[in-house]
């Protein structure tokens, strides 16, 4: 039985998180704006404000709750994390304040799952403490997210691995202390064993930044604005012990990381959509048009109703996915995670667009969060793999359970079933 109930004690924590995020984290989005802000642990002004807030969160026992207790987390299951991330999704800075910022969360999880004790001591613990940030360097300029087309190679020379090739959209690479890199080690092998995963320190010789790629609202010619590295691994050398998970395990390691990342994106999207809906309803009861409140116009009522219904449907999908992860065998939630990935960009688009429309010209300015939400939409649709790939995955999962029907007509052919019903109940008719 699927059960989304939570104990009163945890609800009190959620209430505390909501108040803290609204009063302490959302203001940080205005004080320190920009996509790279939450990852710049070298900004003394920002850290002077953020470190005390992180200490408050730690004292409340809510730091890095996605991790197991032996790593300093609470060991919360995905259902509780979903309810927390709904709230943290309201603010760009909140995940950093609570120790749950992507891509560091996913990188921390794979270090915890596949890292050696030496790797954990050198890279994981500082990451958990937010002393450093990291990068997941997977996609390539000629291949996007398709690992079958990856050409970045790694091979062994003596007691080192040598990595050569280019990587595209390696988020936060200019701020990272290390990168986790997916490279081809067996070009002719099946995709499941074609690649391996490596830890590369950011100061490794041969690691070159071709340019830092900016997002839609960044300045084109200002490298300081770009947050996504276009990188060249020019025969970068790392010790043999900097492989994660063993030779040929790169695809497995990547899937272990990306599945959790996708559902966490969906969790935070619920929070962003809820914030947009809150703004929509506040505007509707505050603004007048044609002699009456916006809330009295049926078009506005329809936009609010559609947004509330669609958000509740998506929220339930995310919660069910989290419940499956918590209660079913590993991998059972794969199709539901893909559903979340497909639906979150659509829901986000529709709700934010309606919120902008109700706010009128104010909605397209930088004087509300809505414009920034809108600009982030395209990258949300591409994050952790193109939406189209996940649609195919969902379709194939359902098609695998379908049984072909012999004959001219489907199994649910009404006339055929009527004839069968008449035969079955003939003695009563």
Express each pLDDT in 404-420 by its tens digit: 999 999 999 999 999 99
Q: How far out from the chain centre does Cα 211 lie?
A: 24
Q: How far is CA 102 from CA 36, 136, 307, 356, 404, in A?
A: 12, 10, 27, 27, 43
Mean pLDDT within 300-327: 96
Could you give the C-alpha distances from 323 to 7, 315, 318, in angstroms and in order?
15, 12, 9
Q: Which two tokens stand for residue 66?
A: 């996605």
Q: What is the mean pLDDT of the chain?
A: 92
Rounded to 5, what percent of the chain is helix, strand, coil? 55, 15, 30
Contact between 87 and 14 under an 8 Å Cβ cutoff? The reply is: yes
pLDDT for res 71: 73
CA dist., res. 158 & res. 239, Å (int):
9
CA–CA gap between residue 364 and residue 356 (Å, rounded): 7
Predicted confidence band of residue 33 (pLDDT cuts 50, 70, 90): confident
Domains of the chain: 8-115 (1.10.540.10), 134-244 (2.40.110.10), 252-399 (1.20.140.10)
Helix axes 78-88, 8-20, angle to 10 degrees: 20
pLDDT, tens digit, 9 for 90 and up, residues 60-119: 999 988 887 777 778 888 899 999 999 999 999 999 999 998 889 889 889 988 999 999
Contacts 24+ apart (CB under 8 A), 9-18: 10/80, 10/83, 13/60, 13/62, 14/83, 14/84, 14/87, 16/60, 17/62, 17/84, 17/87, 17/88, 17/98, 18/87
For residue 261, what pLDDT band results from cuts at 50, 70 and 90?
confident
Contacts 24+ apart (CB under 8 A), 201-207: 201/177, 201/238, 202/135, 202/173, 202/176, 202/177, 202/178, 204/236, 204/237, 204/238, 205/236, 205/237, 206/233, 206/234, 206/235, 206/236, 206/237, 207/179, 207/231, 207/232, 207/233, 207/234, 207/236
Give pLDDT, residue 181: 97
User: How would you classify residue 290: left for phi > 0, otherwise alpha for psi between -120 and 50, otherwise beta?
Assistant: left
Rounded to whole angstroms, the Cα distance separating 193 from 213 reads 31
pLDDT for position 4: 85
- Say if residues 284 and 300 touch (Cβ distance below 8 Å): yes
Q: Measuring CA to CA, how many Å separate 281 from each of 146, 166, 277, 278, 329?
A: 41, 47, 6, 5, 41
More confident residue, 64 or 296: 296
Position 259 pLDDT exceeds 80: no
Q: What percent of the chain has pLDDT over 90?
A: 75
Buried b (16+ CB within 10 A) or exposed e, 44-66: eebeebbeebbeebeeeebbbbb
**Both ends of the chain: CA-CA distance in Å?**
40
Position 92 scores a pLDDT of 92
């Amino acid at each position: 039985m699927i059960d989304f109930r939570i104990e009163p004690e945890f609800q009190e924590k959620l209430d505390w998180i909501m108040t803290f995020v609204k009063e302490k984290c959302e203001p940080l989005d205005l004080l320190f704006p920009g996509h790279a802000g939450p990852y710049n642990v070298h900004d003394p002004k920002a850290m002077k404000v953020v470190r005390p807030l992180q200490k408050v969160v730690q004292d409340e026992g809510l730091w890095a709750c996605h991790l197991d207790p032996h790593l300093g987390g609470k060991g919360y299951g995905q259902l509780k994390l979903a309810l927390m991330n709904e709230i943290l999704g309201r603010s760009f800075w909140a995940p950093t304040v609570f120790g749950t910022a992507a891509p560091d969360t996913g990188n921390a999880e794979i270090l915890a799952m596949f890292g050696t004790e030496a790797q954990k001591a050198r890279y994981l613990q500082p990451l958990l403490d937010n002393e450093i940030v990291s990068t997941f360097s997977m996609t390539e300029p000629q291949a996007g997210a398709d690992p079958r087309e990856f050409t970045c190679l790694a091979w062994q020379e003596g007691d080192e691995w040598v990595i050569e090739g280019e990587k595209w959209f390696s988020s936060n690479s200019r701020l990272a202390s290390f990168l986790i890199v997916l490279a081809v080690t067996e070009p002719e092998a099946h995709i499941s064993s074609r690649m391996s995963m490596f830890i590369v320190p950011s100061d490794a010789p041969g690691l070159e930044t071709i340019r830092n790629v900016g997002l839609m609202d960044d300045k084109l010619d200002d490298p300081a604005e770009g947050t996504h590295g276009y990188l060249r691994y020019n025969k970068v050398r790392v010790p043999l012990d900097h492989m994660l998970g063993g030779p040929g395990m790169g695809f497995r390691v990547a899937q272990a990381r990306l599945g959790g990342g996708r559902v966490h994106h969906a969790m935070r999207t619920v929070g962003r959509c809820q914030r947009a809906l809150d703004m929509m309803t506040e505007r509707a009861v505050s603004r007048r048009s044609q002699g009456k409140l916006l809330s009295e116009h049926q078009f506005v009522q329809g936009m609010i109703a559609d947004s509330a219904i669609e958000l509740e449907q998506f929220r339930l999908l995310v919660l069910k996915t989290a419940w499956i992860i918590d209660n079913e065998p590993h991998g059972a939630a794969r199709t539901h995670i893909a559903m979340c990935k497909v639906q979150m960009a659509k829901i986000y688009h529709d709700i934010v667009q309606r919120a902008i429309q109700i706010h009128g010209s104010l909605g397209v300015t930088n004087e509300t969060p809505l414009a920034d939400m809108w600009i982030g939409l395209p990258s949300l649709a591409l994050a952790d793999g193109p939406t189209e790939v996940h649609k195919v995955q969902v379709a194939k999962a359902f098609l695998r359970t379908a049984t072909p029907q012999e004959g001219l007509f489907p199994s649910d052919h009404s006339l055929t079933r009527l004839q069968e019903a008449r035969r079955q109940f003939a003695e009563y008719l």
